[in-house]
C-alpha cells in the first residue's frame, strides 16, 4: 500500500499509523452505557487493569493551577480557527471546532473545571493536529470544545461565573426531559451538543491531583481505554462505578446515550510536553476500535510516546 511521504516521515510512530489503518477498517459503532466520577479530593491507589469500584476516584476534585473534507492539496488547508458556539454564565465565548464530515463521531471536551490550563492546552493541541491532518484522517468526525468553562479560566477557579462547579450539576436521567432553563448555560450547551451531534463517544480531557493519571471508561469503550491506561502507566476505573451524582460521567453512563472516556492526566504535567506524552493515546480513542492494527503497531520496535511512558528512562518532566 502506498503511504504518502509526509506519513512515512513520521518514522515508526505506531499510534499514528493506527489512525491510517483504522480509517480504512473503521465501521459504525453503536452507543452503550457510560461513566461516573467522585468528589474525593485525594488520589486513590487504583492499579491499571484492576479497577477498585469500592473506592471513589477523585475525578471531579479541584485541580491545580468546521472544515470541509473535500479532497485537495494540503497546502490549501484553511487557517485553524476556533468558532464561538455558545456563551458562558458571564457571557464569554465557549469555543469549538468541528473537523471532518463522515466517520466515527466523537465529542471532545476540555476540562469542565475552568482553572485547568494543562488539560485545555492538550485539547487545543489535539484540535490543531486533527485540523492540520484532516485530509489524511478521513475517518475522523470530531467536534472539539476547547474549554466549556471559560469563566473559570478567566477567574482562575474551577467554578463558572455563577459560582457553580459544572461537573456536579448535570441532570438525572429522569429529569433530563424536563425544562432545563434553570440549569447552567454551559450544561445546556453540552446537553444540546450531545443531542444534536449524536456522538458515538465523548472524551473528557482533564487533570488529576495524583502522581499518575487515570483513565475512566464506560463498558462500550473499555477495551480501548484499558489499552491506553496500560500504555501510559495510568490507573483504570470502570464506569459508572462510584461516580458522584451530577457528573457528566454519571449522566452519560446511566442515560446510555453514548460511550464516554475520561482521561485525567497528572496536574503536574508540563504544558510543553503534553503533546508528546499524551496526544498519540488520545488519537486512538477517536476511532472505532481496531485491535489487530493496534497490536501490530505496538509490536514495532520504534514505539510512540504512549508506549514509551512505560520505560524506566522516560522522563516527562524534561
**Angle subtended at Cα 287 by Cα 222 and Cα 302, rounded to the nearest 5 degrees:** 90
Taking the C-alpha atoms of 99, 102, 105 and 107 in order, what is their torsion angle to the nearest 10 degrees?
20
Q: What is the pLDDT of residue 129?
A: 93
Q: What is the pLDDT of residue 8?
A: 33
Higher per-residue pLDDT: 48 or 121: 121
Q: Residue 317 domain-assigned?
A: no
In the prediction, which pLDDT does 118 show?
96
The answer to the question of residue 315 being in a domain is no
Least confident of 58-72, 79-93, 247-261: 58-72
Q: How far apart are CA 290 and CA 173, in angstroms?
A: 31
What is the arithmetic mean of pLDDT over 177-193?
A: 87
pLDDT bucket at 68, cuts 50 / 70 / 90: very low
Q: What pLDDT does 223 receive?
A: 92
Q: Is the pLDDT of residue 309 over 90?
A: no
What's the rounded Cα separation, in Å, for the pair 106 and 121?
A: 19
CATH number of the domain enclosing 237:
3.40.630.10
- Domain assignment present for residue 304? The answer is yes
Give percent of the chain above pLDDT 70: 64
Q: Which domain holds residue 32?
A: 5-308
- Classified as helix, coil or strand, 97 is strand
Average pLDDT estimate for 189-215: 94
303 found inside a domain:
yes
Determine, yes or no, domain membership for 257. Answer: yes
H/E stretch holding 130 reads: helix 117-132
What digits encode the pLDDT tens for the residues 172-184? 876 666 667 789 9
Count of domains forming the chain:
1
Residue pair 248/260 in contact (Cβ under 8 Å)? The answer is: yes
**Mean pLDDT, rounded, for 209-230:** 93
**246: region left, alpha or beta (phi > 0 left; psi from -120 to 50 alpha):** left
What is the structure's pLDDT at 100?
87
In whole angstroms, what is the distance from residue 141 CA to residue 241 CA? 29
Tell me what percent of the chain is helix, strand and coil, each rounded to the nearest 5: 35, 15, 50
| Residue-wise pLDDT tens digits, 78-132 | 789 999 999 999 999 999 999 988 888 999 999 999 889 999 999 999 999 999 9
Is pLDDT of 142 > 50? yes
Higher pLDDT, 301 or 84: 84
Look at residue 148 and tell me if it is in a domain.
Answer: yes
Identify whether the C-beta of residue 100 lies closer than 8 Å to the C-beta of residue 19. no
Q: Are 65 and 115 in contact (CB under 8 A)?
A: yes
Question: In this model, does residue 43 exceed pLDDT 70?
Answer: no
Torsion of CA 14, 314, 203, 13, to 10 degrees: -10
Residue 63 lies in a domain: yes
Amino acid at each position: 500500500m502506498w503511504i504518502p511521504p509526509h506519513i512515512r516521515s513520521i518514522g515508526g510512530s505506531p499510534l499514528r499509523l493506527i489512525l491510517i489503518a483504522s480509517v480504512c477498517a473503521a465501521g459504525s459503532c453503536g452507543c452503550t452505557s457510560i461513566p461516573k466520577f467522585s468528589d474525593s479530593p485525594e488520589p486513590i491507589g487504583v492499579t491499571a487493569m484492576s479497577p477498585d469500584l469500592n473506592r471513589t476516584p477523585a475525578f471531579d476534585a479541584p485541580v491545580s493551577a468546521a472544515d470541509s473534507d473535500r479532497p485537495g492539496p494540503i497546502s490549501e488547508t484553511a487557517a485553524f480557527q476556533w468558532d464561538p458556539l455558545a456563551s458562558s454564565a458571564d457571557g464569554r465565548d465557549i469555543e469549538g471546532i468541528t473537523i471532518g464530515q463522515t466517520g466515527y463521531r466523537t465529542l471532545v471536551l476540555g476540562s469542565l473545571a475552568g482553572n485547568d490550563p494543562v488539560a485545555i492546552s492538550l485539547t487545543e493541541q489535539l484540535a490543531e493536529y486533527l485540523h492540520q491532518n484532516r485530509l489524511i484522517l478521513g475517518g475522523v468526525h470530531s467536534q472539539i470544545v476547547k474549554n466549556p468553562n471559560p469563566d473559570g479560566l478567566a477567574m482562575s477557579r474551577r467554578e463558572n461565573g455563577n459560582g457553580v462547579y459544572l461537573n456536579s450539576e448535570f441532570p438525572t436521567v429522569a429529569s433530563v426531559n424536563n425544562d432545563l432553563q434553570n440549569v447552567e448555560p454551559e450544561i445546556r450547551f453540552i446537553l444540546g451538543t450531545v443531542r444534536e451531534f449524536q456522538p458515538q463517544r465523548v472524551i473528557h480531557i482533564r487533570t488529576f491531583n495524583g502522581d499518575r493519571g487515570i483513565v475512566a471508561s464506560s463498558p462500550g469503550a473499555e477495551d480501548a481505554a484499558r489499552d491506553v491506561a496500560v500504555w501510559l502507566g495510568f490507573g483504570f476505573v470502570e464506569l459508572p462505578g462510584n461516580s458522584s451524582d451530577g457528573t457528566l460521567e454519571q449522566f452519560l453512563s446511566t442515560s446510555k446515550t453514548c460511550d464516554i472516556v475520561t482521561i485525567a492526566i497528572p496536574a503536574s504535567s508540563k504544558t510543553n510536553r503534553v503533546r508528546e506524552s499524551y496526544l498519540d493515546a488520545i488519537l486512538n480513542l477517536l476511532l472505532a476500535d481496531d485491535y489487530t492494527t493496534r497490536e501490530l503497531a505496538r509490536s514495532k520496535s520504534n514505539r510512540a510516546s504512549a508506549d514509551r511512558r512505560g520505560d524506566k528512562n522516560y522522563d516527562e518532566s524534561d
